[in-house]
Chain A
């Protein structure tokens, strides 16, 4: 029973990833694309556990899932830092004052 449950869950997860891939493809800004990559990465950790159930080696594949979710988090942080045009506090206050006026 657990075999067919795993197959069904994996197939429906892949089907539900299609809208997220659409968002990566179209995404008006670059942040939309990173967001989509992040969501798919989190779901890939789940897919690794599902693959472990299929091969009856969950204890091995859970370690891969831990490492993958760690890499996913670090990747998101690095890309966010890279795209971040760090502005100084003074410039930011000036901008806030301008928007208030």
Chain B
């Protein structure tokens, strides 16, 4: 099932990027997408044991995750703007390094968590070693969201609902 999904994914990509709908160009697209699917079908979707239903739920949860992260990006930009442009914001800047352990297991979930931490206000992921995250923060009061694990819980709801604590 997975090769078919990858083939249609690549074909949609081809159609958007080429923008031509005659038989010659579509035929070229089908041939090259088949070749790529045959050559590198084990590149995407690492864990093949999950069924189609789980994947669909994952995709739906991820779509619900996108508006939240976009709002966080807007807040992060307002925070940077305040620190850069006003004198009071510059005075309250207090950088330091925070370390915490995560309970996420797969690499992809860790990748999404690290990118989300980078996009939320006042924090950037500095170094990941195994389960330990080193994070550089700008202001004191913005760490609460991070250290209580709100971002981590959001990511775990999307990708690994089985490891959520308190369930």
Q: Chain A residues in contact with chain B, CB under 8 A?
A: 59, 63, 89
Q: Which residue of A lies closest to B130 (CB)?
A: A89
Q: Chain B residues in contact with chain A, CB under 8 A?
A: 17, 19, 129
Tell me the smallest distance from the CB of A65 to a CB of chain B, in Å: 12
Q: Looking at chain B's contact residues, is the secondary structure mostly helix, strand, loop, or mixed?
A: mixed
- Interface contacts (Cβ under 8 Å), in number, total 3
Residues of A within 8 A of B129 (CB): 89
Residues of B within 8 A of A89 (CB): 129
Please measure, in the bound complex, the distance between the C-alpha atom of A96 and the C-alpha atom of B99, giving whole angstroms: 13
Please measure, in the bound complex, the distance between the C-alpha atom of A59 and the C-alpha atom of B17, giving whole angstroms: 10
The 3 A-B pairs of least Cβ separation, nearest first, read: A59-B19, A63-B17, A89-B129
Please measure, in the bound complex, the distance between the C-alpha atom of A63 and the C-alpha atom of B19, giving whole angstroms: 12
Please measure, in the bound complex, the distance between the C-alpha atom of A13 and the C-alpha atom of B154, giving whole angstroms: 36
Please measure, in the bound complex, the distance between the C-alpha atom of A63 and the C-alpha atom of B18, giving whole angstroms: 10
Residues of A within 8 A of B19 (CB): 59
Residues of A within 8 A of B17 (CB): 63
Please measure, in the bound complex, the distance between the C-alpha atom of A65 and the C-alpha atom of B91, giving whole angstroms: 39
Tell me the smallest distance from the CB of A39 to a CB of chain B, in Å: 13
Tell me the smallest distance from the CB of B18 to a CB of chain A, in Å: 10
A-B contact pairs, 3 of them (CB 8 A): A59-B19, A63-B17, A89-B129
Please measure, in the bound complex, the distance between the C-alpha atom of A89 and the C-alpha atom of B129, giving whole angstroms: 9
Please measure, in the bound complex, the distance between the C-alpha atom of A59 and the C-alpha atom of B18, giving whole angstroms: 10
Q: Which residue of B lies closest to A66 (CB)?
A: B17
